[in-house]
Amino acid sequence: MVRRDTYFSKHRLTMVPLNIWDILAFILIFGVFALFALGLSQMNVPYHVGENIPIKLDPQYLPLYALRSVLRIFIALLLSLLFTFTVGTFAAKNRYAGKIIIPLIDILQSVPILGFLSISVTGFIALFRGSLLGPECAAIFVIFTSQVWNMALSFYQSLKTIPEELIEVADMFRLSAWQRFWRIEVPFAMPALLWNTMMSMSASWFFVVASEAITISNQNINLPGIGSYIALAIKEANLPAVYFAILAMFSVILIYDQLIFRPLIQWAEKFKLDALPQEHRPKTWLLKLLQKTRLLKYMGYWLCVYFRLFYFASRICCCDYKYYHLDPAWSLDWTKTQNCPDCSTNNAIFSCISRLFAVPAFCDFNG
């Protein structure tokens, strides 16, 4: 009997010692997490309206200010993605909702950003009374409004233009609504959504000054960030400080472009209908670094194994054994023989968890 290749037979690894690329990758990963943890810890500190938050024009404070601004932008980006996947999908799938949501988005995107700020800042400060989290949430909300409309409209347009061939494939495999969304619709929309996300990130930098230098009841609230740094430099006519702020913005944009968007663009290339073969796709330096690691690849493999076991166990526990049969090869490939009415939601949840933590193992580390 010929034993077919399975996921585990193709990805079986042996434990190997650390190399220099593992050390560099761990420094990079834990450094990013440490910086974001530092920024988050400084967002929820005691604060009362009227207190002076000192902003210094010394360039040595710019890295910390840049971190705070980038953290606000990325929190707003996550909220924008959540809005896009929920409201955009609802507008595309429901004909009556689309007639209301799309014109409403057109109206909201024409509202000036300062209009959203004047409406939201009082409510957030009242909601988080005695904490800096109120002004921080107001600033995040303003940045959110500068990002979300473009992304939602892009995703809506992608869902409305899915080729009939992909819809027929989903019907053939009897995909549930959740599976159809994550396996057909989101991958098809991902290339356009990524480019519109990059445009939205660029647009959010235009409103950083307005979102971080807030005025309410004749009180000025200057949140630590590049925006408030630029506002103070302009107020004091400090031209070198403005140049330092521009250099900091350029450096930050270059860093997150190389660490996040370039790898994501390369990853999204495989979802294009006219995608190039994998060997002809340009690889970013970050993915090349991950491909040269040993311990990280080993850890990714075993995380994938454990979460796939967790996923398949959940499929068996949520319904009767009669719905599945086990493949003879040691692949943990449980094949569904009938439609189980009780496990579609569990399958979707555990499938997302297993895929989320199995990203390193699914990468082609062997080049």
Q: Do the beta carbons of residue 214 and residue 137 sit within 8 Å?
A: no
Last residue of a domain, which of 259, 285, 311? 285
Residues 87 and 201 occupy one common structural domain? yes
Last residue of a domain, which of 232, 260, 285? 285
**Within 13 Å and on the Cβ side, how many CA atoms surround 181?**
16
* Lowest-confidence segment of 62-76, 143-157, 160-174, 315-329 by average pLDDT: 315-329
- The pLDDT of residue 279 is 58
Residues 347 and 206 occupy one common structural domain? no
Q: Is residue 38 part of a domain?
A: no
- The pLDDT of residue 259 is 87
Round the average pLDDT of the chain to a whole number and report it. Answer: 77
Residues 224 and 139 occupy one common structural domain? yes
Compare 314 and 236 and report the one with higher pLDDT.
236
Q: Do the beta carbons of residue 327 and residue 334 sit within 8 Å?
A: yes
Q: Label residue 333 by pLDDT band (50, 70, 90).
A: very low
Q: Label residue 91 by pLDDT band (50, 70, 90).
A: very high
Compare 148 and 361 and report the one with higher pLDDT.
148
- The pLDDT of residue 159 is 92
Last residue of a domain, which of 285, 305, 330? 285
- Quick one: residue 324, left, alpha or beta (phi over 0 = left, psi -120 to 50 = alpha)? beta
Residues 204 and 317 occupy one common structural domain? no
In this prediction, residues 219-242 reach a mean pLDDT of 88
In this prediction, residues 58-68 reach a mean pLDDT of 90
d(CA 84, CA 335): 33
Q: Is residue 25 part of a domain?
A: no
* Lowest-confidence segment of 6-10, 30-34, 127-131, 361-365 by average pLDDT: 361-365
pLDDT tens per residue across span 238-267: 999 999 999 999 999 999 998 889 888 888
* Lowest-confidence segment of 78-87, 251-260, 277-286 by average pLDDT: 277-286
Q: Is residue 247 part of a domain?
A: yes
Residue 299 has pLDDT above 70, yes or no: yes
Q: Is residue 166 part of a domain?
A: yes
| Residue 277 token pair | 């073969």
Residues 102 and 227 occupy one common structural domain? yes
Residue 300 has pLDDT above 90, yes or no: no
Q: Which residue range forms the structural domain that includes residue 217?
A: 43-285
Residues 163 and 76 occupy one common structural domain? yes
DSSP E strands: which ranges in 191-347?
Answer: 213-216, 219-222, 324-326, 334-336
Residues 255 and 306 occupy one common structural domain? no
- The pLDDT of residue 312 is 61
Q: Label residue 170 by pLDDT band (50, 70, 90).
A: confident
Residues 317 and 214 occupy one common structural domain? no
Q: Is residue 244 part of a domain?
A: yes
pLDDT tens per residue across span 193-211: 999 999 999 888 888 877 8
Residues 176 and 302 occupy one common structural domain? no
Compare 283 and 1 and report the one with higher pLDDT.
283
Tell me the DSSP string of 76-111: HHHHHHHHIIIIIHHHHH-HHHHHHHHHHHHHHTTS
Q: Is residue 34 part of a domain?
A: no
Residue 225 has pLDDT above 50, yes or no: yes
Structure pTM? 0.76
Q: Is residue 37 part of a domain?
A: no
Residues 6 and 100 occupy one common structural domain? no
* Lowest-confidence segment of 162-171, 195-204, 317-326 by average pLDDT: 317-326
Residues 135 and 4 occupy one common structural domain? no
Q: Is residue 26 part of a domain?
A: no
Angle at 142 between CA 141 and CA 146, to 5 degrees: 110
Count of domains for the chain: 2
Residues 104 and 12 occupy one common structural domain? no
In this prediction, residues 303-323 reach a mean pLDDT of 58
- The pLDDT of residue 179 is 85
- The pLDDT of residue 50 is 75
Spell out a b/e string for 138-177, using b for 16 or more CB atoms within 10 Å of the CB, else e: bbbbbbbbbbbbbbbbbbbbbbeebeeebeeebeeeebee
d(CA 227, CA 161): 39
- The pLDDT of residue 69 is 92
What share of the chain in percent tops pLDDT 70? 75
We report the CATH number of the domain holding residue 118 as: 1.10.3720.10
Strand partners, 325: 335
